[in-house]
Structure 1
Amino acid sequence: MKIAVFGATGRVGSYVTTIALEAGWQVKALVRTPEKTTQKTPEPEVIKGDIFDKHLVEKTIAGCDAVFVGLGTDKTNTLSTSAPHIVAAMKKHGVMKAVIIGTAGILDSRHQPGKYRFETPESKRKTTTAAEEHLKAYQIWKASGLEWTYVCPTYLPDGEPTGEVRYEADLLPEDGTKITVGDTARFAFRVLHDNQFVRQRIGICY
Structure 2
Amino acid sequence: MKILLLGATGRVGSEIAAHARSEGHSLTVLVRHPEKIENRDESITIVQGNVLNQLDISQVMLGNEVVICALGTDGDTTLSDCMPLIVEAMNNHGIKRIITIGTAGILNSKTNQGLLRYQSSESKRRTTRAAEEHHKAYLILKQSDLEWTIVCPTYLPLGEAVGTYRVERDYLPDGGTEISVYDTAAFAYHQLKSREYMRSRVGIAY
Deviates more, 1:24-33 or 1:34-43: 34-43
- CA-CA distance at 1:161 after TM superposition: 1.3
Distance of 2:58 and 2:155 partners within structure 1: 32
Who is 1:140 aligned against? 140
Q: Is the 8 A contact 1:105 1:123 kept in 2?
A: yes
Amino acid of the structure 1 residue aligned with 2:197: F
Q: Report matched runs for 1:61-72 at 5 Å.
A: 61-72=61-72
Amino acid of the structure 2 residue aligned with 1:184: T
Q: Does 1:102 align with 2:113?
A: no
Who is 1:91 aligned against? 91
Distance of 2:204 and 2:80 partners within structure 1: 23
Who is 2:160 aligned against? 160
Q: What secondary structure is seen at the aligned counterpart in 2 of 1:17? A: helix
Who is 1:47 aligned against? 47
Q: Is the 8 A contact 2:28 2:44 kept in 1?
A: yes
Q: Does 1:193 align with 2:193?
A: yes
Q: What secondary structure is seen at the aligned counterpart in 2 of 1:204? A: strand
Who is 2:3 aligned against? 3
Q: Report matched runs for 1:116-127 at 5 Å.
A: 116-127=116-127
Kindly provide the CA deviation profile for residues 151-206 of structure 1, in whole angstroms up to 9, marking residues without a partner as x.
00000001331111100000000000000000000000011222221000000000
Who is 2:60 aligned against? 60
Deviates more, 1:55-64 or 1:172-181: 55-64
Q: Is the 8 A contact 2:25 2:43 kept in 1?
A: no
Distance of 2:4 and 2:196 partners within structure 1: 19
Q: TM-score, normalised by structure 2?
A: 0.98
Distance of 1:58 and 1:89 partners within structure 2: 5
Q: What secondary structure is seen at the aligned counterpart in 2 of 1:187? A: helix
Distance of 1:202 and 1:147 partners within structure 2: 14
Distance of 2:185 and 2:32 partners within structure 1: 21
Kindly provide the CA deviation profile for residues 103-137 of structure 1, in whole angstroms up to 9, marking residues without a partner as x.
00000001111000001121211100000011011
Q: Extract structure 1 runs of 4+ deviating beyond 3 A.
A: none
Amino acid of the structure 2 residue aligned with 1:80: S
- CA-CA distance at 1:39 after TM superposition: 3.1
Kindly provide the CA deviation profile for residues 17-74 of structure 1, in whole angstroms up to 9, marking residues without a partner as x.
1110111101110000000012334541011011101111111111111000000101
What are structure 2's unaligned runs of at least 5 residues? none
Q: What secondary structure is seen at the aligned counterpart in 2 of 1:88? A: helix
Q: Is the 8 A contact 1:150 1:202 kept in 2?
A: yes
Distance of 2:9 and 2:46 partners within structure 1: 11
Distance of 1:135 and 1:12 partners within structure 2: 19
Amino acid of the structure 1 residue aligned with 2:187: F
Amino acid of the structure 1 residue aligned with 2:166: R
Report how many residues are paired: 206
What are structure 1's unaligned runs of at least 5 residues? none
Amino acid of the structure 2 residue aligned with 1:194: S
Q: Is the 8 A contact 2:166 2:204 kept in 1?
A: yes
Q: Is the 8 A contact 1:69 1:99 kept in 2?
A: yes
